[in-house]
Structure 1
């Protein structure tokens, strides 16, 4: 495989200098309150909100993995990239409730809507899940990507990115995160667009690419009997997981909470939805192009995950390689910064501040910075552990969201759309949900030792998409039945927290918070999603 030239290293160096410059500029601005540190003073514009939402979602492992899906025959997985409509839904449906209630975290919203127990449960669960999955997977996968791409030692690549990202996140807080993510979004999109254009040119355009693939390769819709991607389960489960991730997860929602007001937050979500459409064309297509070139004998790679790097190094001109590599590093660093900051916010606001309600602002700021530093250290300590974990378990860590999303999605959806759902129903759903998720994961890992055809084996071996769809129905049932069997919440405690309890003033303010252009662009996002679904039918 070709090596980077001097010009490539100059481009990569320029990216880092620009990133450091923005980080230093942001860090020179005073951070005196928790609102400054965790939500950038709630004064972020729509462009930065949208770019930050997008950059938080796209990690380097996401880029390489999506290209691998394109090269490895897993085209149905692109449905997760069509969740742009859910990003828009977050801005229209969920975000107004979050911003109106003045929360710092989504678990805090559960306390306002239900009780303190639901907040404690979701805060601790989210914090553990972030450290064990998001931090470890992002650091590990990012280290592999950077070490293989730049031909440097895995440890060196991982440590440099973790330490550099951790430094500006610890010192600058949310403001440093979102402004650097705005830059990283631009670099990532430029780099990926460059590779897509170069790749399509090399393969003879879209028609040349399709001609080099087997018939029906680009069909994302598999029969309901397909063992891997049955289309009904794929549509249902991807929507459940997408609702949890885009509409309720602190990791994403924190960017919307940093907006100046509901109008800006919604507009940022709509812009984020537009950006979310780009991975289909900028990350998936390079993988498909790499496969087409391999079929023609013009490229060679062993595994699908090598498709992106091989296409980059063999077909991209000198200088542009450095731009694409900088984009990959931007993807890694933005994801890391987001998870570091979200962990710090959850610990400081939802745990420490609850235990020490009278703690002064300066103390909370110090705790927030220390918490970020601890997560950075944990991320480094996880690297050797992740190196020794089997590839099978690594895949489960990445797909575990399909098992934790159903109960959380059920609680938030029912909590906002129904005023009858109470704290007992919410708590029963969360507790039973985590129990079922742990049981499923345990049985899935040990299914080979279970008797085929037995109840436990069937439970552990069921297609994960089908399982998650049934699991969501179970969660909704638990929430509704438990709520109906227990007293309804007092009406005065949930005013403005559900659609059925909005005041006339809130309804009027909501109607005045958007323009015709917000509606037009939102409809455009949905139209593009439908167009892609129709296009990828063969």
Structure 2
């Protein structure tokens, strides 16, 4: 980092805080709808940009490139499939979420089932944010600081955590959304620059494919592949995707802030197109770093250092600062999103449970005060990451595989099947939680296991997700049939209760349907072309 690079980074911070201050000023009312959902008046472009920017965190930039350097493009399947799951969010889930008028996903579960599933999802979401989003984002950010800026791991991470927390507390979701859009542009420009200069360094796309080998450029891996077997990708990854993209507060809060169903749906379609870019912008640079390291042109200490090492070696003064700003943008957009989403759950699902008549100003205050303990817990969890996986992105996905199947089952079956009841949902969540925690404990202890326990501990996490999901669906359906309830909370929140009414159906499918259908078909075509080209 030269002086000009530091100037660019400083300019980025000034710009981010300027946007955040502007957003905070626009938030005139100190009420919960404005602070947590930006007044429910956000357009499709901001929603789509925020979905992409908040999802592409530093764990993506560091982890995707690192896994790409270690094993090739197969890890990009998660990004490609995300485009399809985003269409599912926009077309299937969004109409029911906006119709229900909820602030949080746990609140939706209470409206659909009962209070028990709401409390479970609220608690498990907060724990999940600490184990996956907060801690992994901070850890990946620390790698960036050490490799590129020469700043101590903890010092650099804490600086960004505090800075992000300040503007999130100031402006609420509106500040998060506006800064996300800015960070999306910075992130994309920086990533394109790295990929372009990296390809030039290796001699172009053709030279990269020849030198890296065809296996590295194959999205489809055999059943025996330890990380990305094709069965796990096709049947396991979508389960993780439904949980993350369609039921996780961290993501869904953006569409809950939409001006209407059409803006929410179109925002998800826009994000679906953007999610086809990480293969080229984040995974390919990792492969480039591996090729250059094999030539001896750069020194790669470990795969997770692929992107920072590439930036330090190839980028000129000034542009390096811009790319570092892009890395910081990814880090800060993810942290601001998780801070705001987590504070929403703490406030609306935990605090309001005990203070149901709390004033609006109290709710906003609690939302602003609820992130400190979560940041500390995230920092404390970082040392345990390496015990589960040496590659950050694979760790993130594997943890999600243990907590996502029961949640995905309860949401998906709950919307599609009106007969599902609270007892079935409670048992499905309980069984899924016990089995998921059991698998996590086994994986942490695998060095001391043998026999069937070792097999259970080392089975691919995507295959584990498939088994857990099917078991949870079976439990939900079975208990709902065996233990019927006289009153099922389903009015207007399932297909059978909505699409039986022509007026309700028209409201749910409002907007320019033909245009959105055409745009959605375009996403399917792009995914098909990527699957064919990288097969």
Q: Same fold (TM over 0.5)?
A: yes
Report if aligned partners of 1:139, 1:379 keep a CA contact under 8 Å in 2: no
Q: CA deviation at 1:394?
A: 6.1
Q: Distance in 2 between matches of 1:89 and 1:470?
A: 22
Counterpart of 2:477 (choices 456, 472, 480) is: 480
C-alpha distance 387-477 of structure 1, shift in aligned 2 (>3 A): closer
8 Å Cα contact 1:61-1:145 kept in structure 2: no
Cα displacement (A) at 1:470: 1.2
RMSD of Structure 2 on Structure 1 (CA):
1.7
CA contact (8 A) 1:422 1:489 kept: no
**How many angstroms does 1:397 deviate by?**
5.6
Instruction: Work out whether residues 54 and 334 of structure 2, in 8 Å CA contact, stay in contact via their aligned partners in 1.
Output: yes
Matches within 5 A, 1:55-454: 55-82=53-80, 83-372=82-371, 374-375=372-373, 378-380=374-376, 382-383=378-379, 385-386=380-381, 388-389=383-384, 391-393=386-388, 398=396, 399-450=398-449, 452-454=450-452
Equivalent position to 2:36, from 35, 38, 53: 38
CA contact (8 A) 1:212 1:295 kept: no
For residues 351 and 291 of structure 1, the distance between their equivalents in structure 2, rounded to whole angstroms, comes to 47
Q: How far 1:466 moved relative to its partner?
A: 1.7
Specify whether residues 220 and 255 from structure 1 end up closer, same or farther in structure 2 by C-alpha distance, changes over 3 A only: same
What is the number of equivalent residue pairs in this alignment?
527
**2:494 corresponds to which of 498, 519, 526:** 498
Q: Contact between 1:420 and 1:488, CA under 8 Å: does it hold in 2?
A: no
Q: Secondary structure at the match of 1:490?
A: coil
2-side partners of 1:382 and 1:130: how far apart? 8
Deviation at 1:161, TM superposition (A): 0.3
Contact 2:86 2:246 in 1 (8 A): yes
Q: What CA distance in whole angstroms lies between the structure 2 residues aligned with 1:147 and 1:413?
A: 42
1:162 and 1:380 in contact (8 A); partners too: no
Aligned counterparts of 1:390 and 1:105: Cα–Cα separation in 2: 28
Indicate how the Cα distance of structure 1 residues 405 and 381 shifts in structure 2: closer, same or farther if over 3 A, else same: closer
Q: 1:310 to 1:147 in 2, by over 3 A?
A: closer
TM-score, structure 2 as length reference: 0.95
Question: Partners in 2 of 1:295 and 1:535 — Cα distance?
Answer: 25
Q: Distance in 2 between matches of 1:168 and 1:195?
A: 29
Normalised by the size of structure 1, how large is the TM-score? Answer: 0.94
Q: Structure 1 residues 14, 129: CA separation in 2 closer, same or farther (over 3 Å shift)?
A: same
Distance 1:448 1:380, change over 3 A: closer
- Alignment check: 8 A CA contact 2:135 2:382 kept: no
Q: State the Cα distance separating 1:103 from its structure 2 match.
A: 0.4
Secondary structure at 1:435 match in 2: helix
Whole-angstrom CA distance in 2 between matches of 1:227 and 1:183: 38
Alignment of 1:52 with 2:50, yes or no, is yes
Q: Compare 470-479 and 214-223 and name the one that shifted more.
A: 214-223
Partner SS, residue 389 of structure 1: helix
Counterpart secondary structure, 2:419: coil
C-alpha distance in 1 between matches for 2:484 and 2:79: 41
Q: Distance between the aligned counterparts of 1:471 and 1:345, measured in 2?
A: 28
Structure 1 position 380, deviation (Å): 4.1
For structure 1, which runs of at least 5 residues remain unmatched after alignment? none
Structure 1 CA distance for aligned equivalents of residues 277 and 228 of structure 2: 23
**Offset, 1:118:** 0.9
Aligned to 2:459: 462
Tell me the distance in 1 between the aligned counterparts of 2:71 and 2:395. 22
**Offset of residue 489 of structure 1:** 5.8
Query: 2:247, 2:52 → 1: CA distance?
Result: 16
